[in-house]
Structure 1
Amino acid sequence: MASGEKSNGIDELRKELLALLNGGQAHATFDEAVKDFPEVHRGTVPDGLPYSAWQLLEHIRITQHDILQFSAPPTGGYQPIEWPAAYWPQSSGPSSVNAWDASIAAIHKDREAFEELISKPEADLYKPFRWGEGQNLLREALLIADHTAYHVGELIMLRRLLGIWHK
């Protein structure tokens, strides 16, 4: 196979990963799931569910940030956080009026940073990291997409239970 063919395949894979990370190909997007979420219901835990929309939102943010840190650790290296305690907020509701929007902004910022990682032409999607247990950039991209999609579905179900999903 010529090197140009290999490059085109990787470019196509990067393009598909970016589309997957942004969601919406087969279901509602993250942004649609959190758009106009009534402030009064952000901390509501519906009967039969163990979490609120706030807890789901923060879990998405914390997990995605951890995966970004794992994939591109800062100078000091990757510092794992405690599972499961550090991945879920204790409080069912945001600590302030601005916390909801700040969490959404942080999710966007970290997703953009991860997209930059996989978009770099020199980034090897298949090469295992020097740390971890054989994970690579491709696996981490798929993990972010899968994890986020799972919890977006939960956010929509939560909205349906609360009677606030109007799509």
Structure 2
Amino acid sequence: MNYNPEYILNNLIDNLEGSNAHVTFEDAVANLNPVYRTKIYGELPYSIWQLVEHIRIAQWDIVEFSTSSAHQSPQWPEGYWPNPTSEISEQQWQTSLQQIKDDRSRFIDLLRTNRNHLFTAFPYGDGQHLFKEALLIIDHTSYHTGEILLLRRLFNDWA
């Protein structure tokens, strides 16, 4: 087994961008009927829109934290979860999806730039490092992508 920095970097990027055993975030939200974006199913506490925004906010926070000791994270939990709404515009939807993609690209660029220091603790925080933050993005996005897929199935909007 090869554990050089390039090998680790390539595997992290593959998991950030690829699907491997899971559906990608992009595939999970593709062709979603707009009527289901803000609809809350039954007694569940959130809509697909709220999940998308939560993914966006959390990923943005991780990227910003990974680049600056001056970054102030939003207040938990209210700063990470949007309030329910009955309607969002196509522009809001597309902007959120684009920011998720852009922030993921920024994080991948950060990984590439620091490929030889993936395990070096940030000089701030509680021992976090790029490898740990990459795993956090992968895990968090995957978890909530699964929830999006479940909602789409419950809405009968997933083939």
| TM-score bin, normalised by smaller chain | over 0.9
> Do the aligned partners of 1:94 and 1:100 also contact (CA within 8 Å) in 2?
no
Given candidates 14, 23, 27, the residue that maps to 2:18 is 23
Taking only the aligned residue pairs, the percentage that are identical comes to: 41
Structure 2: segments with no counterpart, 5+ residues: none
> Do the aligned partners of 1:45 and 1:92 also contact (CA within 8 Å) in 2?
no
Structure 1: segments with no counterpart, 5+ residues: 1-5
Is 1:70 aligned with 2:65? yes
Given candidates 148, 154, 159, the residue that maps to 1:161 is 154
Aligned mates of 1:16, 1:122 — CA distance in 2: 12
Given candidates 113, 120, 123, the residue that maps to 1:127 is 120
Q: Match for residue 56 of structure 1? A: 51
> Do the aligned partners of 2:50 and 2:84 also contact (CA within 8 Å) in 1?
yes
Question: 3-state DSSP class of the match of 2:90?
Answer: coil
Q: Which runs of 4+ in 1 moved over 6 A?
A: none
Aligned mates of 1:94, 1:109 — CA distance in 2: 24
Given candidates 131, 147, 161, the residue that maps to 2:140 is 147
Shift of 1:78: 1.3
Question: What TM-score comes out, normalization by structure 2 length?
Answer: 0.94
Question: What TM-score comes out, normalization by structure 1 length?
Answer: 0.89
Distance 1:93 1:99, change over 3 A: farther
Q: Match for residue 7 of structure 2? A: 12
Of 12-21 and 41-50, deviating more is 41-50
Aligned mates of 1:81, 1:123 — CA distance in 2: 30
Q: How many residues align?
A: 158
Aligned mates of 1:91, 1:123 — CA distance in 2: 42
Q: Match for residue 101 of structure 1? A: 94
Q: Match for residue 3 of structure 1? A: none
